Amino acid sequence: MQKLIIVFIIGVSFIAFMGCEGQSTLTEDDPVKRGEYLVTVGGCNDCHSPKIEGPGGIPLPDSSRLLSGHPQDMPHPAWYPEDLQRNVLANTNAMLTAWAGPWGVSFTMNLTPDKETGLGEWTEEAFIQALRTGKHQGQPNGRDILPPMPWFNYREMSDRDLKAVWAYLRSIPPIKNQVPLPVPPANAPAGE
């Protein structure tokens, strides 16, 4: 009887061990998988992926061009100081990829590994520094990264997690899409 119990305990421990093992390979050990998980729960697609119209007009990420940023030829919204009196801080487009506000107009970056228009030529170091410091391309003297990019939340990720996000972003298909430069506040007329 005692032997049976010991065999039973060893068996259960083994199964529990295998269970943990399975989970950890999914999100802990494989940086690309962990990065995909972090990009999903971190909401990167909400702003960095063009959208298709879902049920009830809800925007859903367009799976054919995930994380490719604001579509290059799409007109951007405008924002006027009067908007603030109506309690409107920002206007966005139907894809949630262009954002007009007191900072001018910001466009979400192409995060795919395309060499000319995406993260292709970036280093892991520049990527991590950008998210940690809020400076464009992580350059100490670079311009501030504009709203609504919530880098001050992602800054809290561990080095390991930021590296995993980077590894995932390197693994997705490159998409050529030249996102426009930000428009400064004075040059943001309606509908251009």
Q: Which residues bind ligand HEC (CB under 6 A)?
A: 39, 42-44, 46-48, 99, 106, 108-109, 111, 127, 130, 136-137, 145-146, 148-150, 154, 165, 182
Do residues 184 and 105 make contact, with C-beta atoms less than 8 angstroms apart? Answer: no
Do residues 106 and 171 make contact, with C-beta atoms less than 8 angstroms apart? Answer: no
Q: How far is the CB of 113 from ligand HEC (least distance, A)?
A: 12
Q: Which is nearer to ligand HEC, 83 or 161 (CB)?
A: 161
Q: Which is nearer to ligand HEC, 126 or 190 (CB)?
A: 126
Q: How far is the CB of 119 from ligand HEC (least distance, A)?
A: 7
**How far is C-alpha 43 from the geometric centre of its chain's CA atoms?**
6
In terms of residues, how long is the chain?
192
Burial class (CB in 10 A: 0-12, 13-18, 19+), 81: exposed
Q: How far is the CB of 126 from ligand HEC (least distance, A)?
A: 8
